[in-house]
Amino acid sequence: MRTTTEHLAGLTLTSVSLDAALDHADPAAGTIEVFARVVTADGSEDLPFLVFLQGGPGHEAGRPTPTNPPWLARALVDFQVVLLDQRGTGRSTPVSSPEIAPLTGLDVRAQAAYLSHLRADEIVNDCELFRDFIGAKQWTVLGQSFGGFTTLHYLSTHPESLAGAIIAGGLSAVRRPIDDIYAATWQIMIEKSEAYYRRFPGDRDRVRTLSELCTQGAVTLPNGDVVSPARFRTIGNNLGVQGGPELLHFLLELDHRSSGFAHDLAQALPFAGRNPLYAVLHESSYADGVATRWSAERTMPDRVRDDVTLLGGEHLHRSVFAEDTELRPFAEVADLLAEHEWNQLYFPELLAQADLPVAASVYYADAFVPRDFSMETAALLPDCRPWVTSEYEHNGLRADTAVLDHLIGLLKGRRWL
């Protein structure tokens, strides 16, 4: 255990590193380091704790400043905030390449076994270590996107540790086949693509032209990687976030031969070597007791295959592991994980016993977490207070501090919508 404390712009930041079992069911498998930062506003040392679970998978928690994350100042009115770097990210024994520790020297099967322990179940076990360390009998969890998925596992396994839960765009499907989830998100992306072209009608021909240039190998990234039509399609990921359509429109107006286009395109592509775990573990986040077997690729509708202007969202293509220079070393382990039979994460009968307040934003046209499945999950929880809104996209928590304010109000019973 290692702790340090520093002060920043009216905040006290306590950094904590704990040793955690890689596999909590098998302590002999070794340990990893897990890091969290406790953020306390001056004079608020007696407030209860809220632990933030980041979206992803594979993303570390935001680094606290007076303006980042945007919701932090609102949270600190009611809580001390614990920013957890989920295992494998940030300062929690990060995974960046098979050639770099902790994967260095392991054969591909051992690498796959290691990575299989970076999921929601083990993240919850890490949360329990930190909760015990800070001496909180209970705390509240704030789960954004994948962090909401992790919160559902928390509610399934340790509801006694939670005073309440806030879920922003993360009420995952429960006991739904993974192919159903990806099939639903493809249909949502068809609708979002068509809505985008109604707003920017000239962009349809531009996307068609760029896709053809991708076929010719004429679209490249700053590192020289050639972008295939399948990978180019994933720029549609931007249609699922606040402000994303505008950024996509401005990207498409650039000359594909320019450095500006190459750099902006690299930023627009969701799956890349800058954050390898997001690609390697993405489909596993929807795998509730099944193998994924490249579900997003298998469920692509014929209509999308036949029309290159219909864009994708978080739809991972197996070929990205051949195309991206930094992801290429993960290609073999990604294949193994696609065939891995993942353990069950969500238990309806246990969720039904989690009798504590859960405030959840459900975004009406969420591109990544289908609304209808979210409402099915909300119905499983005894005291879920869903807020269904068409005002925000999937990143509503970051886009507007009013989102967290509304959710805290729901949690505390001040509002009911």
Q: Which of these three, 288, 319, 338, is where a domain ends?
A: 338
pLDDT of residue 415: 55
For range 215-235, the mean pLDDT: 97
198 and 150 in a common domain: no
Do the domain assignments include residue 269? yes
- pLDDT (mean) for 309-333: 96
Q: What is the pLDDT of residue 66?
A: 77
Q: What is the mean pLDDT of residues 130-135?
A: 97
Q: Tell me the residue range of the domain where 351 lies.
A: 2-175+346-411
Q: Is 17 exposed, middle or buried (0-12, 13-18, 19+ CB in 10 A)?
A: middle
Residue 115 forms part of a structural domain = yes
Whether residue 1 has pLDDT greater than 80: no
Helix H, strand E, coil C: the string for 265-312 is: HHHHCCCCCCCHHHHHHCHHHHCCCCCCCCHHHHCCCHHHHHCCCCCC
Nearest 5°: phi and psi at 275?
A: -145, 75
Give the pLDDT confidence of 366-388 residue by residue, as tens digits.
999 999 999 999 999 999 999 99
Average pLDDT, the chain: 96
pLDDT at position 10, please? Answer: 87
- Tens digit of each residue's pLDDT (9 = 90 or more) over 261-311: 999 999 999 999 989 999 999 999 999 999 999 999 999 999 999 999 999
Asked whether residue 98 falls in the same domain as residue 184, the answer is: no
Across the strands, what pairs with 4? 15
Q: How many helices (H) and strands (E) does the chain have?
A: 18, 9
pLDDT above 70 covers a percentage of the chain that reads: 99
- As beta bridge partners, residue 80 has 49
**Structural domain includes residue 324:** yes
Residues 326 and 363 in one domain: no
Phi, psi of 252 (to 5 degrees): -70, -20
135 and 158, same domain (yes or no): yes
Query: pLDDT tens, 333-343?
Result: 999 999 999 99
DSSP string, 90-159: TTSS----TTSTTSTT--HHHHHHHHTTSSHHHHHHHHHHHHHHHT-S-EEEEEETHHHHHHHHHHHH-G
Task: Write down the pTM of the prediction.
Answer: 0.96
Per-residue pLDDT for 195 more than 80? yes
Residues 162, 155 contacting (CB under 8 angstroms)? yes
Q: What pLDDT, in 10s, does the model give residues 152-187?
A: 999 999 999 999 999 999 999 999 999 999 999 999
Residue 125 maps to a domain: yes
Tokens of 417: 């919508």
Question: Residue 220: pLDDT band by 50, 70, 90 thresholds?
Answer: very high
Task: For residue 373, give the 3-state DSSP assignment.
Answer: helix
pLDDT value at residue 91: 97
Looking at the predicted structure, is the pLDDT value of residue 416 above 60?
A: no
CATH (domain of 67): 3.40.50.1820
SS3 annotation, 38-84: EEEECCCCCCCEEEEECCCCCCCCCCCECCECCCHHHHHHHCEEEEE
- pLDDT reported for residue 68: 87
- Kindly state whether residues 29 and 154 are assigned to the same domain: yes
Structural domain ending residue among the three candidates 338, 356, 391: 338
Q: What is the pLDDT of residues 9-68, one digit of tens each?
A: 889 999 999 999 999 999 888 999 999 999 999 999 999 999 999 999 999 999 998 788
Does some domain include residue 303?
Answer: yes
Instruction: Say what percent of the chain tops pLDDT 90.
Output: 94
Verify that 320 and 220 share a domain, yes or no: yes
Q: Would 417 be classed as within a structural domain?
A: no
Task: Give the strand pairing for 31-41 and 11-21.
Answer: antiparallel
Assess whether 44 and 88 both reside in one domain.
yes
Do residues 272 and 324 make contact, with C-beta atoms less than 8 angstroms apart?
yes
Residues 357 and 327 in one domain: no
In a domain, 271, yes or no: yes
In a domain, 416, yes or no: no
Q: Are 100 and 189 part of one and the same domain?
A: no
- Do 140 and 187 reside in the same domain of the chain? no
**SS3 for 246?**
helix
Tokens of 383: 């005291």
Single residue among 292, 309, 338 that ends a domain in this structure:
338
What total number of domains does the chain contain?
A: 2
**Domain co-membership, 290 together with 322:** yes
Task: State whether residue 168 is helix, strand or coil.
Answer: strand
For residue 417, the model assigns a pLDDT of: 46
Say if residues 325 and 355 touch (Cβ distance below 8 Å).
no
| CA–CA gap between residue 131 and residue 338 (Å, rounded) | 33
The reply to whether 325 and 362 lie within a common domain is no
